[in-house]
C-alpha cells in the first residue's frame, strides 16, 4: 500500500484515477475496513488537507455551498449552516460521537452510500446538488440520483466528491417553514438509526402547503423521498385530517425489512409518527443540540512531500517528533509501539470506546481511526501531555479529587475529552455528558466522571478569573 498526500486538487484527481487508488479524507470508515482486511487499497490518496473545507453563501444565486471536506463537527456548528440549512446541522450533530465528528467529513458520509446515513437523509430533504470533479472535468448531480444501492454511489473510479450545494430559495408566498430532523436509535450516540426522517414544508398564510420534502433513511436500500406523501400534501391545508392521512400514507409508501435494529412494522410506525410530528410542528424531545459548542476551525492546510514512509514530522505534547513509518499506519500504533506513549489505550479499534482519544490541534479524535500521514505537521496531545510539570494537570487532579478513576483503562481518553472542554465558559451536566458520549466506561457509571469534568471546568474558570 503506497500512501500519497497530493499537493493540490489536480494532483489528487490524477492519483485517484490510478488502478487500485482509494480516496481517504477523515478515514473513520476506511481505517476500520483496512484494519479488518476488508479493503486493501494499492494507492492511498489522502485529500484531508486540500482546500475543500469552506462553507460559503452565494447571495446572488441563493445557494449555500458546503465543501466535501467539512467535518461533521463544523457542519453542526457553522453559523451559515445553522441559519440556512438547520436540517444538515441537526443530522451532523448525531453522527457517531464527538471524536468521530471531528474527523468524519460530509463527503465521506455521502460517498459511503449507506442506507442509514443521517446526513444523506437531511440533504435529500434540502434538494442538495453534488459537485463531482475528476481529471475529465466537473459535473453536478442531484442527490436523489447519487445513491444506487447499499455501499454503491454514482461516483465512478477517479472521481472526487468536491462540494454540496443547497438551494435556499423558497416558494412565493411562503410565510412559515416547518423543518424537522428525527432519529430513532437505542441510545443517543454511536448508533445507527432504526429510522431517520428529515422534512421541510413551506406554508402560506392559510397553512396551505406550497412545497414539502420528506426524506427517510434506514427503510430501504438507499435513502429515499416520500414522493407520494409530498404530492398528497401539495396545495392541501394542514388540517388534522390531512395530517393523519399523510402520516398513514408515509407508513404505506415504504417497504422496510426487519433486522437486528428494528422490525419492519416498527419502522413503518416510526416513519408515520415522525411525519405526523413534522406536520404538527412538534419537536422530538432531548436530542443533542446543534451549534452549542464553539465551532472548530477547519484544519490548516499542511503541504509537504508526503509519500510512502515519510519521515513524518509532527508535534506531540509540545515537542517536534519525526517518525518513519507508512503514512497509512494507525496513529494509535505509532504512539504506542514507536513512541512508547502507552497512556493512549487500544480498546475497540473501531472508534466506539474512546480509550485511544488524543487531541489533534486541540480537538479530540480517535487515534485508531487516524492515519499517521494525515496528522503530519499538526499538534497532538496525549494523556502524557496533560501534566503541569511533575504535578497532575487541572483535569487530572479533578479526576483524582472526584474519585472518577476505577480500573483506569478508559480514563486517559476521558481526560483527553475533558481537556478539550476546559476553555468552555459554562456547560451543563447534560452538555458534559454529550461531550463524553464517545467515551465508554464499564466501571463508574459516569456520574463521577461528569463530576470530575465539572470540577475541572470550575477550577479553570477560577484560575481565569484570578488572572492566574
Give the CATH number of the domain where residue 178 resides. 3.30.465.10
58 found inside a domain = yes
Give the pLDDT of residue 189. Answer: 80
Q: Is residue 292 part of a domain?
A: no
**pLDDT score recorded for residue 431:** 92
Question: What pLDDT shows up at residue 287?
Answer: 54
Is 342 inside a domain boundary?
Answer: no
72: cell is 461533521
- Record the cell numbers describing residue 393, joined without a space: 494537570
The C-alpha atoms of residue 282 and residue 433 are separated, in whole angstroms, by 25
Q: Is residue 80 part of a domain?
A: yes
Residue 289's pLDDT is: 60
Domain span at 162: 50-279
User: Can you tell me the mean pLDDT for 110-120?
Assistant: 94
Distance CA 159, CA 137 (A): 9
Cα–Cα nearest to 274, from 245, 257, 255, 251: 251
pLDDT higher than 60, residue 305: no
Give the position of cell 427503510: 219
Convert the pLDDT of each residue in 336-370 to its tens digit.
999 999 999 999 999 999 999 999 999 999 999 99
Amino acid 467: pLDDT:
64
Round to whole Å and give the CA distance between 33 and 3: 16
pLDDT bin (cut points 50, 70, 90) of residue 465 is confident
Residue 428 in this model has a pLDDT that exceeds 70: yes
Residue 190's pLDDT is 83
Domain final residue, candidates 279, 305, 325:
279
* Residue-level pLDDT at 141: 98
* Mean pLDDT for the stretch of residues 136-146: 97
Going by C-alpha positions, the residue among 130, 163, 246 that lies closest to residue 197 is 246
> Do residues 62 and 209 share a domain?
yes
Mean pLDDT of 118-138: 96
In a domain, 229, yes or no: yes
- Indicate the pLDDT class of residue 304, thresholds 50, 70 and 90: very low
Per-residue DSSP letters for 271-284? HHHHHHHHHTT---
pLDDT band, residue 1 (cuts 50/70/90):
confident
Q: Quick one: pLDDT band at residue 302, thresholds 50, 70, 90?
A: very low
- 358 within a domain of the structure (yes/no): no
Q: What is the pLDDT of residues 315-341, one digit of tens each?
A: 999 999 999 999 999 999 999 999 999
Q: Would you say how long the chain is, in residues?
A: 468
Q: Say how far apart CA 61 and CA 58 lie, in whole Å.
A: 6
State pTM to two decimals.
0.91
Average pLDDT of the chain is 92
pLDDT number for residue 301: 46
| Residue 410: CATH number of its domain | 1.10.150.120
Could you read off the pLDDT of 183-234 as tens digits, one per residue? Answer: 998 877 888 899 999 999 999 999 999 999 999 999 999 999 999 999 999 9
Q: Do 409 and 270 reside in the same domain of the chain?
A: no
At 212 the pLDDT is 98
**Does one domain contain both 149 and 271?**
yes
Of 253, 279, 305, the domain-final residue: 279
Largest CA-CA distance found in the chain, in angstroms, rounded? 70
> Average pLDDT in the 419-448 region?
89
25 is a domain residue: no
Domain boundary among 254, 279, 304: 279
Residue 311 lies in a domain: no
Quote the number of domains for the chain: 2
Of 186 and 286, the structure prediction assigns the larger pLDDT to 186
Amino acid at each position: 500500500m503506497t500512501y500519497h498526500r497530493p499537493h493540490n486538487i489536480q494532483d489528487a484527481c490524477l492519483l485517484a484515477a490510478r488502478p487500485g487508488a482509494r480516496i481517504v479524507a477523515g478515514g473513520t470508515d476506511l481505517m476500520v475496513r483496512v484494519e479488518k482486511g476488508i479493503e486493501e487499497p494499492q494507492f492511498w490518496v489522502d485529500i484531508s488537507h486540500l482546500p475543500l473545507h469552506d462553507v460559503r453563501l452565494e447571495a446572488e444565486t441563493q445557494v449555500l455551498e458546503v465543501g466535501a471536506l467539512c467535518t461533521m463537527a463544523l457542519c453542526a456548528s457553522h453559523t451559515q449552516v445553522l441559519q440556512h440549512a438547520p436540517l444538515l446541522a441537526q443530522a451532523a450533530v448525531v453522527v457517531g460521537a464527538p471524536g468521530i465528528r471531528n474527523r468524519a467529513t460530509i463527503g465521506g458520509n455521502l460517498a459511503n452510500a449507506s442506507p442509514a446515513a443521517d446526513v444523506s437523509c437531511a440533504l435529500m430533504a434540502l434538494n442538495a446538488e453534488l459537485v463531482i470533479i475528476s481529471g475529465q472535468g466537473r459535473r453536478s448531480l442531484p442527490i436523489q440520483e447519487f445513491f444506487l444501492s447499499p455501499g454503491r454511489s454514482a461516483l465512478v473510479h477517479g472521481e472526487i466528491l468536491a462540494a454540496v450545494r443547497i438551494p435556499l430559495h423558497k416558494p412565493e408566498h411562503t410565510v412559515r417553514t416547518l423543518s424537522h430532523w428525527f432519529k430513532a436509535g437505542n441510545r443517543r450516540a454511536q448508533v445507527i438509526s432504526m429510522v431517520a426522517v428529515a422534512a421541510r414544508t413551506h406554508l402560506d398564510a392559510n397553512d396551505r402547503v406550497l412545497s414539502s420534502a420528506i426524506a427517510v433513511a434506514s427503510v430501504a436500500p438507499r435513502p429515499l423521498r416520500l414522493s407520494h406523501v409530498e404530492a398528497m400534501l401539495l396545495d392541501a391545508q394542514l388540517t388534522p385530517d390531512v395530517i393523519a392521512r399523510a402520516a398513514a400514507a408515509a407508513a404505506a409508501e415504504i417497504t422496510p425489512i426487519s433486522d437486528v435494529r428494528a422490525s419492519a412494522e416498527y419502522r413503518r410506525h416510526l416513519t408515520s409518527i415522525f411525519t405526523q410530528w413534522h406536520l404538527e410542528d412538534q419537536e422530538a424531545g432531548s436530542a443533542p443540540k446543534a451549534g452549542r459548542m464553539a465551532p472548530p476551525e477547519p484544519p490548516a492546510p499542511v503541504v509537504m512531500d508526503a509519500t510512502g514512509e515519510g519521515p513524518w514530522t509532527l508535534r506531540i505534547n509540545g515537542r517536534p517528533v519525526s517518525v518513519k513509518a507508512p503514512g497509512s499506519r494507525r496513529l494509535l500504533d505509532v504512539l504506542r509501539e514507536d513512541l512508547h506513549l502507552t497512556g493512549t489505550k487500544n480498546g475497540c479499534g473501531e472508534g466506539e470506546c474512546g480509550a485511544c482519544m488524543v487531541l489533534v490541534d486541540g480537538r479530540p479524535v480517535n487515534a485508531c481511526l487516524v492515519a499517521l500521514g494525515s496528522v503530519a505537521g499538526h499538534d497532538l496531545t496525549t494523556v502524557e501531555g496533560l501534566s503541569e510539570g511533575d504535578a497532575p494537570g487541572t483535569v487530572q487532579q479533578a479526576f483524582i479529587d472526584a474519585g472518577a478513576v476505577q480500573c483506569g483503562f478508559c480514563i486517559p481518553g476521558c481526560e483527553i475529552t475533558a481537556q478539550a472542554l476546559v476553555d468552555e465558559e459554562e456547560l451543563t451536566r447534560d452538555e458534559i455528558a454529550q461531550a463524553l458520549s464517545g467515551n465508554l466506561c464499564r466501571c463508574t457509571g459516569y456520574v463521577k466522571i461528569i463530576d470530575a469534568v465539572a470540577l475541572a471546568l470550575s477550577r479553570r474558570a477560577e484560575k481565569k478569573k484570578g488572572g492566574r
